[in-house]
Amino acid sequence: MNFTSEEKQFADSLKFIARNLEIKEHIQQSPELYPLFQRSAKRFVTGESKEDGLAIGNQLINKGYRISLEFIGENTVSREECVQAKNEFLRLIQECGAQGLNTRISFDLSHIGLAIDSELAFQNLLEMAKAAHDNGVSLMISAEESNKTEQVLSVYKRAVARYTNIGVTLQAQLYRSLDDLKELLDYSGTIRLVKGAFQEPSDICIPRSEKLNERYLELVDLCVESEHTVSIASHDEAINKHVIEHGYLKKPYVEAEMLYGIRPDLCKQLKDAGLPIRVYLTYGSEWYLYLAHRIAEYPPNIYVAITDMIHGAEDTSVHY
């Protein structure tokens, strides 16, 4: 969707607030505010444990969906926390393998070390990739702020040369992504395309607009023309219409992907039509930033969030 000027100001303000650690800590430590915001987060986050994520994941798989699971977290600032995060991902991977779930595990490289040392992130990624390979699971590196993009892609290129079950996410809003994609087409990993949820300097990114939609579809077209495995991660109706009308989702190397709690009606429509749709599930206690981004991406969600604070979010899974 294209934002009005007021919606853009609101979204930018919310992204700024989301990154303010003092506000985040105040909410997380407040016995009054924490449960209110947590009630809103339940619409978009499966819960705080991997059991919560796997429970919803199994429900969706049984309904015919593909799934992606993420233990929420980013910008981990100590080696001990990075190891703890990596170990949680290893447990998640092993549990998916034990349950025979052919799923995808998504994560930020900064959750497993990138904010400290690229080599730490690389080594942790290799350990996860080996475990994923042994358990029939794939990995997907998420997009992060533009000041990390070069590091993210560098680590990815090194790792995917060893393990082909690793994919990477590109943000269409960044001008550089067109050149990045042309280079990544030479690598075997799945490419996941998103518009981009981060507040970036205006000289390096395309604002929400028809121009951004055109760039997004340009990236999609390049992947399809190259017959490269691609995940089209967008809730935009215009983009999905283009993808469906061009028959892209009938190609074996193309899938649609949407976030849990966002457009379950469209997800069900695509799935019931026999088209491949992946639902992106998250779990963990670091849900505050994730909730803020879901509202910033679609400002009218603020009404839903406030309603959920008052009445509690209904069970999102029933709509799939």
Closest CA to 184 of 196, 171, 197: 171
Residues annotated in a binding site: 171, 195-197, 234-235
Higher pLDDT, 297 or 304: 304
Is-contact 191 223, C-beta < 8 A? yes
Average pLDDT over residues 98-106: 95
**105-116 per-position pLDDT tens digit:** 999 999 999 999
Which of the residue ranges 49-53, 92-96, 283-287, 290-294 would you say has the lowest mean pLDDT?
A: 290-294
Closest CA to 317 of 50, 39, 36, 55: 55
The predicted pLDDT at position 263 comes to 87
Alpha helices in 99-148 (DSSP H): 118-134
Q: What is the pLDDT of residue 197?
A: 80
Please enumerate, by residue number, every residue annotated as part of a binding site for FAD. Answer: 171, 195-197, 234-235
Q: Cα dihedral sign for 110, 174, 223, 274? A: positive
Domains of the chain: 46-283 (3.20.20.220)
Contact 58, 75 (CB under 8 A): no
Q: Determine the average pLDDT of the residues in 234-262.
A: 95
304-318: pLDDT as tens digits: 777 877 777 778 888
Q: What is the pTM of this model?
A: 0.88
